[in-house]
Amino acid sequence: MSSTKETPVPGNFLRHVIENDLAQGTYQSRHWGGSPGDGAHHAAGAPDPARIRTRFPPEPNGYLHIGHAKSIWLNFSLAREYGGVCHLRFDDTNPEKEDQEYVDSIREAIRWLGYDHHLADDPARPGIRQPHEYFASDYFDFMHRAAVYLIEAGLAYVDEQTPDEMRINRGDFNTPGKNSPWRERSPAQNLARFAEMRAGQHPDGSMVLRAKIDMASPNINMRDPAIYRIRHAAHHNTGDKWCIYPMYTFAHPIEDALEQITHSICTLEFEDQRPFYDWLLARLTEGGLLKAPPPRQYEFARLNVSHVITSKRKLRQLVEEGHVSGWDDPRMPTLAGLRRRGYTPESLKLFAERSGVTKSGGWTDYAALDAALRETLDPVAPRAMAVLEPLRLVIENWEEVFGSAAHQQACQAPVHPHLPALGQRSFTLGKEIWIERSDFEETPPKGFFRLFPGNKVRLKYGYVIECTGAEKDATGQITCVRARLLPGTQSGTPGADSVKVKGVITWVNTADALPAQVRLYDRLFTEEQPDAGGRDFLTALNPQSLRVARAWVEPTLAKAQAEDRYQFERHGFFVADRREHTVSGRNLVFNRITGLRDSWGK
């Protein structure tokens, strides 16, 4: 895949949904209370200045990955495109150990992608930017109130069956469920029991609150789903206030409603939960707790990328067992890892857009991310020469041509071949230079046009040289190549074309090149679907996913700042490592983002 410039942007059915809603004025009557809240709170506010509201709702229990990037791109860009806002909502309704580290990393990743929720434009007040960052645990009071309302309305009951009984009585795809013996308790009895649950009088798992819908529903999610459970556990935000916690299926629609979300976008696994989502919001609206119109849920196929794992549990295993150096190891599909590897926000957004927003799942080739990176970076990345596997070359007639072995001949090259405004790079050519080991062959294979005894090549931006031979050590390893320089052939001078050559090689001068550590990354997994069919994904780890080269780079890279990206000519795209590269300490560390073309596995 050398270029995908013609790749059409696939359709996005959500655009049609939104445009249709805007045309029909579906959400025109909504008010916004200035913060999340119940129906009365919003009714007291002004007409909602946001034409639509979307949200990105990560659970702060891990680092965001490439799949989340798609969801972020989708929600934030749709909001931006249609004059809406997108909320960042930390979905922290689980009292599991939440980590500030995850909250911080999520904020940082979103900011890096260029969607700064902290500074969302407030369309009501041009020039004023207001934050839209929320925590679902702030809604526990309302969720409890909603549960009490359902009980009072005869729409929920406390079930004291054991988890096993509940599972058996739920039935399956072919068998309708059986009503619980506790299903017909009166609202008063249920209220009393629920109050005991809340007061901590019952152990974990002894009873749950269930919505009372239909145990014979063809949709198993409608067979009286559990909505509150007992968990004697402290929560990072609410501490010991609660020992009952809402189930995800109950909490999520309420979070959306309190935030006045219009289009709640999620992945296809949640399709079967949509009837409950609608049921719950309709009941709470009837009960006066919320105002119509309610949010609507839309599902799209999650992003699956070949050679990549996105399960948070498995990513954590890679980190904890030391298969990678951390969450931001440049081989990790986390946004922290992709950033450190050198991928740009533009490339991730282009990749997300091209992967399409559809109803049917599929796999996206990792190569498409590299293609997006090349396309967006090639037009802007400064060029540099680097020798990754250095072999010394000595120009035998240097003194004859330039009068002194110590002479350094000035050379120039454009910073970017198509952006003259970026100016020129300067470096020197001398008697001894570094070339790539692979650019010399003692006995050349057919079609090899670079260095071999008797052949002429151009040193890019320098002179034409003719190879005269090579030296070897005791093991037969080439230690040095010898050549003669053809005077008058310097690039950019009238004589440059006087000698025709078939090969051009890159090089750096031993006198002014800088040492650098260059990390050459390959895919972390050799298999397209590392965890397919229940396989232990660790068996698919690529033992060659990292190779560290001790390279020499041209002197202009002395000013490279961390996260500066370059095209190393003939080698691909590289970034100065954001953790280890330091300019002042002269510790140059570059990561290869990707090669110049898709060559993996070839």
Candidate list 59, 108, 160, 196, residue with the active-site label: 59
Please tell me whether 60 is known to bind a ligand: yes
Preceding omega of 181 cis (within 30 degrees of 0): no
The verdict on 58 binding ligand ATP (CB under 6 A) reads yes
Label the pairing between strands 156-159 and 133-135: unpaired
Beta bridge pairs of residue 594: 573
Q: By rule CB under 6 A, what count of residues binds ligand ATP?
A: 14
Nearer to ligand ATP, 336 or 576 (CB): 336
Among 80, 183, 312, 570, the active-site one is: 312
How many Å apart are CA 140 and CA 149, to the nearest integer? Answer: 14
The residue type of 354 is R
Residue type, 180: S
Encoded amino acid at 487, one letter: P
Residue 88 annotated as part of some ligand binding site: no
Interface residue with ligand ATP among 31, 236, 312, 570 (CB under 6 A) is 312
CA-to-CA separations, 432 to 1, 390, 391, 507, in angstroms, rounded: 38, 12, 10, 10
Which range, of 65-73, 107-115, 401-409, 539-547, touches ligand ATP by CB under 6 A?
65-73
Q: Does 359 bind ligand ATP (CB under 6 A)?
A: no
Nearer to ligand ATP, 303 or 429 (CB): 303
* Active-site annotation holder among 178, 302, 354, 570: 302
Beta strands 503-505 and 478-485, pairing class: unpaired
Residue of minimal CB distance from ligand ATP?
A: 67
Q: Is 18 part of any known ligand binding site? A: no
Is residue 357 near ligand ATP by the rule CB under 6 A?
Answer: no
- Does residue number 71 form part of the binding site for ligand ATP (CB under 6 A)? yes
* Residue 33 sits in the site that holds ligand ATP (CB under 6 A): no
Residue 312 annotated to the active site: yes
- Site for ligand ATP contains 263 (CB under 6 A): no
Secondary structure in 3-state letters for 110-136: HHHHCCCHHHEECCCCCCCEECCEEEH
- DSSP assignment letter at 82: T
State in angstroms the smallest separation of the CB of 93 from ligand ATP. Answer: 11
Question: At a CB cut-off of 8 Å and minimum separation 6, what does 114 contact?
Answer: 345
- Say whether residue 337 binds ligand ATP (CB under 6 A): no
302 catalytic? Reply is yes
Q: Which residue of 37, 57, 330, 430 would you call a contact of ligand ATP, by CB under 6 A?
A: 57
Q: Is 67 in the site for ligand ATP (CB under 6 A)?
A: yes
Binding of residue 267 to ligand ATP (CB under 6 A): yes
The answer to whether the annotation marks 224 as part of a ligand binding site is: no
Q: Can you name the residues that pair with 247 across neighbouring β-strands? A: none
For residue 554, give the DSSP letter: -
Residue of 31, 144, 236, 302 interacting with ligand ATP (CB under 6 A): 302
CB neighbours of residue 533 within 10 Å = 5
Verify binding: residue 354, ligand ATP, rule CB under 6 A: no
DSSP per position, 19-63 = HHHHHHTTTTT-EE-SSS--HHHHHTSEEPS-S-EEEE---SSS-
193 annotated as ligand-binding = no
Per CB under 6 A, which region of 37-45, 55-63, 333-341, 380-388 contacts ligand ATP? 55-63
Rounded Cα–Cα distance for residues 353 and 77 (Å)? 10
Tokens of 335: 């946004």
Is there binding between residue 316 and ligand ATP (CB under 6 A)?
no
Residues that bind ligand ATP (CB under 6 A): 57-59, 67-68, 70-71, 266-267, 302-303, 310-312
